[in-house]
Amino acid sequence: MKLSFLMGTALAAVLATGVVAQELKFAPGEDAKFNWKSFEDFKAAHGDLKGQSLTLFGPWRGEDEVLFNSVLAYFNAATGINGKYSSSENYEQQIVIDTQAGSPPNIAIIPQPGLLADLSAKGFLTPLGEETQDWVKTNYGSGEDWIKYGTYKGKDGKEAYFGFPFKADFKSMVWYVPENFEEAGYEVPKTMEDLFKLSDQIVEDGGVPWCIGLGSGGATGWPATDWVEDLMLRQQSPETYDKWVSNEIKFDDPAVVGAIEEFGKFAKNDKYVSGGAAAVATTDFRDSPKGLFDIPPKCYLHHQASFVPSFFPPDKELGVDADFFYMPTYASKPELGTPVLGAGTFFAVTKDSPAAKAFIEFLKTPIAHEVWMAQASFLTPYKGVKPEAYANDVLRKQGELLTTATTFRFDASDQMPGKIGAGAFWTGMIDFVGGKDAKTAAGEIQKAWDGLK
C-alpha cells in the first residue's frame, strides 16, 4: 500500500524541528475519528529526543511491514527519534542469534509467548516495570490475561513483566452470509445450544450447515486444534485450559476428550458437513469457506479466525456479503463468561535506551493503535481507542469483543512443544475425523508428549 503524504499545520510544526520528513498516513488534527490529543500530549512529553536512534526487529513483512511503518512514522515525528524497523524471513531464529551475539535491536516484536519466555530466562530482556504492568491491567480488555502472557522468569529466576501486547488476533468466530440467513429465515445463535438447533434446522430444510476443511499440506490438521481450543474454553475453566497447555492435565483427561468429542458432533456428522465427514480431512482450509458463497450455498457456517476473508471471493464485501458472529457459549455454563481464543504480538526491550522507553510509552497512546486500525488487519484489546477508527464494521465488532471478553487465551497448540502442538495434535485430529474415537486419538497424542521426556 503506497502511503500518501498529507501535510497539516501540526505536522509542519513537527517537521520544523529538523526531523527527516516521513510520510504520515493521516494528517494530525484533521479527522475526528482519531484521538489526536494523545498524539499531541505524547509529543509534548517526549519531543526532546531529537537525534537519538531506535531499532526495531519483528516478524511483519509485506503489507504488515508497510502498515507498521505508518505507525512508527508518528512516533518519529513526535519525538525526533530516528526509529527504523526491519524484519527477516527467519525472524524467530535470527532474534535469538542476535541477542546471543550481543547485537540485539532496541525493541524485539515477538509473536509467541514461548519465545518471550526463552529470551527472558536467558536474561536478554529488560523488565517493563510495574507501572506499565498496571497500565495494561487497567486499560486492556482481559488485562490480567494479557499480563500473564507477558510475564516470565528472568535469568535470576524472578518473575517480571517483559512483553507489551499490541496487535491481537481473534479466533472465536463463525462466518456466514447474511443474505443466505435472511432468505432462509435463520437468526444468529446466541448460545451453543442454539447453534446446534440452527444446524439441525438447516439439515431439516434440506441444506448443509457447515463447511470444514483441515487440509494444509504438511500442516494438515491444524484448523481442528482451533475448534478444540474454542470448545475447551466453553466447557472448562480458564485454569483447566492452562493446565492442559502445560500438560498438568493430560490429553486423555475427560475434560479434553469431551472437547474433542464435541468437535466431532460437527465434523463427524455426514449431514452437518459439506461433502460429508470423509471430506473434512482432505478439503483444503483455504477452499473450505468458498462453499458459503455458492448458489445455492454448499454450507451456511464456517468456523475460522479473522484472517480467513483473505480466501473469500475478491468481490465480497465484509459486513455486507459476509459477516461473522461470536462463537457462542453454553447457556448451561454461564459461569464461564465470554471467553475469546486468539493470539497476539508483544513488544520487548532487548537493548534499553531512552528511545526504547519512549516507544513503550508511545504504545500507551490511542493514536499508536488507531493509525493501523484505520487501515486494515489490526485488532487491539486497548479500551481507550476510538472504535470508529476501525476500517470496517467487521473489525470494529471483533475489537469490541476483545475489549469486553471475560477471558482471553492464546492458541493452546502454539504454546505446546512443537512436536505436540504442531505435530501429534494435528495428526491426532486427522485420525479422529478419520474414524478413531476421541479417547483413543487423545491417548496417542498424550503418548507422544510423554515420549518427549
Residue-range domain boundaries for the chain? 9-170+343-410, 173-339+418-450
User: Is there a contact between 433 and 282 (Cβ–Cβ < 8 Å)?
Assistant: no
Strand partners, 151: 161
User: Is there a contact between 3 and 25 (Cβ–Cβ < 8 Å)?
Assistant: yes
What's the topology of domain 173-339+418-450? D-Maltodextrin-Binding Protein; domain 2 (3.40.190)
pLDDT at 2: 29
Element (H, E) at 342: strand 339-349
Reply yes or no: is the peptide bond before residue 339 cis, omega within 30 of 0: no
pLDDT at 453: 74
The sign of the dihedral angle between the CA atoms of 398, 362, 127, 92 is: positive
pLDDT along the chain (453 residues), means of 10: 32 37 87 97 95 97 96 98 96 95 98 94 98 98 97 97 97 98 98 98 98 97 98 98 98 98 98 97 97 98 96 96 98 98 97 98 98 96 98 96 97 95 98 98 98 89
**Side chain identity, residue 269:** N
Q: Fold identical between 9-170+343-410 and 173-339+418-450?
A: yes
Strand partners, 292: none
Q: Which long-range contacts (CB under 8 A, 24 or more apart) does 355-358 make?
A: 355/49, 355/52, 355/53, 355/54, 355/79, 355/81, 355/83, 355/106, 356/54, 356/106, 356/107, 356/126, 358/46, 358/49, 358/75, 358/79, 358/81
pLDDT at 23: 84
pLDDT at 376: 87
Pairing of β 82-87 and β 53-58: parallel
CATH no. of 9-170+343-410: 3.40.190.10
User: Is there a contact between 328 and 235 (Cβ–Cβ < 8 Å)?
Assistant: no
Q: Is the pTM of this model over 0.75?
A: yes
Phi, psi of 209 (to 5 degrees): -70, -40
pLDDT at 22: 62
SS3 82: strand
Strand partners, 210: 273, 301
pLDDT at 228: 98
Place of cell 451453543: 192
Q: Which long-range contacts (CB under 8 A, 24 or more apart) does 293-298 make?
A: 293/177, 293/321, 293/322, 296/207, 297/177, 297/180, 297/207, 298/208, 298/211, 298/274
User: From the CB of residue 104, how many other CB atoms can be counted at a distance below 10 Å?
Assistant: 22
Rounded Cα distance between 308 and 323, Å, is 11
Element (H, E) at 113: helix 113-121
